[in-house]
Amino acid sequence: MNSTFFLRLLQRVGLWQVLEIGLTCQFQATQQLISSMVHLATSCYSAASLHLSSNMAISDQLILLLSGLGSIHGLLLAAFLFFRQPGAWSNRFLAGVILMLSIRVLKSVLFHFNPTIGKQILQLGLSACFLIGPLLFCYCLHFIGKFHQSPLHRLHLIIPLLLLILVGGIYPYHLNLQLWNGPLYKIINYTWLAYTLLSVVLLWPKIVSLNLSNLRQHPDLLVVFCVVSGSGLIWCAYHFGTYTSYISGALTYSFLLCVGALTVFLHLQQKKTNIVGRYANKKISADTAEPLIVELEQFMQTQQVYLDANLVMPKLAKMLGWPTPKLSQLLNDNLKQSFNDFVNSYRIEHAKTLLLGEASMKMDDLAESAGFNSLSTFYAAFKKHTQLTPAKFKALRLADADPASA
């Protein structure tokens, strides 16, 4: 109802046509950007091959390769983070930051090697630059747990989006070059800087409370701080590009993206090695295991994750916030159960409830509702845990209930 009222209001004041024009311009610019990406990817591949262009110096070919591949990899990373399961908002905000940076950088690369590029792509690049700061600030707000505390925080995204659509529709780049290259360019870049500084202020209390000794215990904060710092470095590279080179911002982005990806990869490898080494030859004592078992059982009962037919040990360990070897040792050494037997015990109890409460339910549907991915697996697990078939179990329970009801 609110959205209908809002659309009617826009139509009455004559802004709906402007929004439509703005969205059309952004869509056309996106189409041109995609086609340019394909061309850029082809150019990067050609630069990397043995058939190098004779009209381009070796240094230019290297710059094209590094800056172009960095922006394209950024787009792929943004897509991975956005569609990653589970789709946490922190991942989506980070994906938005990387996506806008990648579009901004890609525009710079295209313009540097082809100054006659379409004006709509230049407008799209500046529009993406305008959204970097708000998305970064919302990413930090979500990290400290304040984004969902007030609906007003959404205005940091809604207002810039509306401004881009309205201004882009009323004053398109190709008809207002002086406006976009003058006041709007400064507003866009200083908005990016202002939101980056606000993000630093937002994170500062957490940053000053840390020291080098406990920094490794807060890897999430380290990642957020690196993202904010990287945003500031890229802004500086573009702002001071007149003293160095316009393409320096794109090269800085590519460098930071590669270093960040390599750092994360090495951190995950080291963490995996440390976890395996920590639990390889060390059993969990009974006193330590008791609260862990209680936590595990309560989690299984309240969250009912056993109903997921695709549940595996690493997935359950991640939900609990435990290392996978820790969960494995707790099940094998302390509970004397395999992972499948442990999960199936909960599924069988759920299946018993369905057997007695849903008389008309087919056995295939019952098995699926209990978390089993096949009927044969359900029958085998049920027989293993109860020494009875589902039909025999149901008949015995109903027979025991008849005298009591009589």
**Cα distance between residue 101 and residue 94, in whole Å:** 11
**Cα distance between residue 309 and residue 377, in whole Å:** 11
Portion of the chain with pLDDT greater than 90, in percent: 12
Report residue 247: phi and psi, to 5°.
-80, -5
What does the DSSP assignment read for 286-320?
A: HHHHHHHHHHHHHHHHHH-GGG-TT--HHHHHHHH
Longest dimension (CA), the chain: 97
The overall average pLDDT reported for the chain is 76
How many CB atoms are located within 10 Å of the residue 213 CB?
Answer: 7
Q: How many CA atoms lie within 13 A of 11 on its CB side?
A: 6
Mean pLDDT of 267-282: 55
The whole-number pLDDT of residue 404 equals 47
**Cα distance between residue 404 and residue 400, in whole Å:** 7
Selection from 13, 226, 97 nearest residue 105 by Cα:
97
How many CB atoms are located within 10 Å of the residue 53 CB?
Answer: 12
Confirm if 125 and 108 have CB atoms less than 8 A apart: yes
**In this structure, which amino acid lies at residue 376?**
S
Q: Which superfamily does 304-405 belong to?
A: Homeodomain-like (1.10.10.60)
Range ranked top by mean pLDDT from 58-62, 271-275, 320-324: 320-324
In this structure, what token pair is assigned to residue 266?
């090495």
* Residues contacting residue 283 through CB under 8 Å, at least 6 positions apart: 329, 333
* Residues contacting residue 168 through CB under 8 Å, at least 6 positions apart: 22, 25, 26, 123, 127
Better pLDDT: 380 or 283: 380
Long-range contacts of 284-289 (CB under 8 A, 24+ apart): 284/326, 284/329, 284/330, 284/333, 284/334, 286/334, 289/330, 289/334
**Cα distance between residue 75 and residue 70, in whole Å:** 9
For 74-112, the pLDDT digits (tens) are 888 888 888 875 556 778 888 888 888 888 888 887 787
What is residue 229's DSSP assignment?
Answer: H
Question: Nearest 5 degrees, angle CA 312-CA 316-CA 319?
Answer: 145
How many CB atoms are located within 10 Å of the residue 81 CB?
Answer: 20
* Residues contacting residue 382 through CB under 8 Å, at least 6 positions apart: 348, 351, 388, 389, 390, 393
To the nearest 10°, report the CA torsion of 202, 206, 209, 210: -130
In this structure, what token pair is assigned to residue 217?
């215990």
* Residues contacting residue 367 through CB under 8 Å, at least 6 positions apart: 351, 374, 375, 377, 378
Among 10-24, 263-277, 327-341, 358-372, the least confident range: 10-24
The whole-number pLDDT of residue 51 equals 39
For 343-392, the pLDDT digits (tens) are 999 999 998 888 888 777 888 888 888 888 888 888 888 888 888 888 88
What does the DSSP assignment read for 52-88?
A: --TTS-HHHHHHHHHHHHHHHHHHHHHHHHHSPSS--
**In this structure, which amino acid lies at residue 209?**
S
**Cα distance between residue 195 and residue 341, in whole Å:** 52
Q: Where are the domains of the chain?
A: 2-272, 304-405
Selection from 79, 190, 82, 92 nearest residue 139 by Cα:
92
The model's pTM: 0.56
The whole-number pLDDT of residue 162 equals 92
Better pLDDT: 276 or 164: 164
Helix or strand holding residue 256 (H, E): helix 248-280
